[in-house]
A = this chain, B = another copy of it.
């Protein structure tokens, strides 16, 4: 029961995604997930409060990555380069393997109101961490807030494009290209139709 289980979190994630895909999110129980992962229910509940959180276990890591990414940007970085540093740290943690996982995850989240609501909260948690890290570097909450929105949008929109294709580009290519497009976009929005 209490013993250490190698990669218990990853095993629970894979088991949960399999079962949610096969039977649906609502119909799957924590007992079934634990069994599929070859673990006890006690181990599952030591790691996660409920089945929903198994799917969102990556949130804490993404929050930490964006925070240290912005913190570690060069002292002379312009505001938009601080955002790019946060986005690079986020994106570089995603391998081609995550691309398949991401597609499965997106399909499951789309199937459940409860998961969609939780996914919105995850996006907000990333935006919020981005904002706090940018405030620490820029000392300007106003600027930090707008840049955090832009950065998070670049991460999600670039990510959608990455998941929708099968080229050899890494996530960072998509995300940083997205961010770079916002400069012209903003200019166009504030001037002409």
A183 within 8 A of B: yes
Chain B residue nearest to A190 (CB atoms) is B183
* Docked complex: A168-190 residues within 8 A CB-CB of B: 181-183, 185-186, 188-190
A189 lies within 8 A of B79 (CB): yes
Residues of A within 8 A of B (CB): 76-80, 117, 120-121, 123-124, 138, 142-143, 145-147, 149-150, 153, 157, 181-183, 185-186, 188-193
For chain A, what secondary structure do more than half of its interface residues adopt (helix, strand, loop), or is it mixed? Answer: helix
User: Are B150 and A185 within 8 A (Cβ)?
Assistant: no
Q: Which residue of B lies closest to A134 (CB)?
A: B189
Q: Within 8 Å CB of A77, what residues of B?
A: 193
Inside 8 A of A150's CB, which chain B residues have their CB? 146, 149
| Chain B residues near A186 (CB-CB < 8 A) | 146, 186, 190
A146 pairs with B142, CB closer than 8 A: no
Closest residue to A124 on the B side, CB-wise?
A: B120
Q: A78-B190, A146-B189 are in contact. List 18 more A-B contacts (CB 8 A).
A: A78-B193, A79-B190, A79-B193, A80-B189, A80-B190, A123-B124, A124-B124, A138-B193, A142-B157, A142-B181, A142-B185, A143-B189, A145-B153, A146-B150, A146-B186, A149-B150, A186-B186, A186-B190
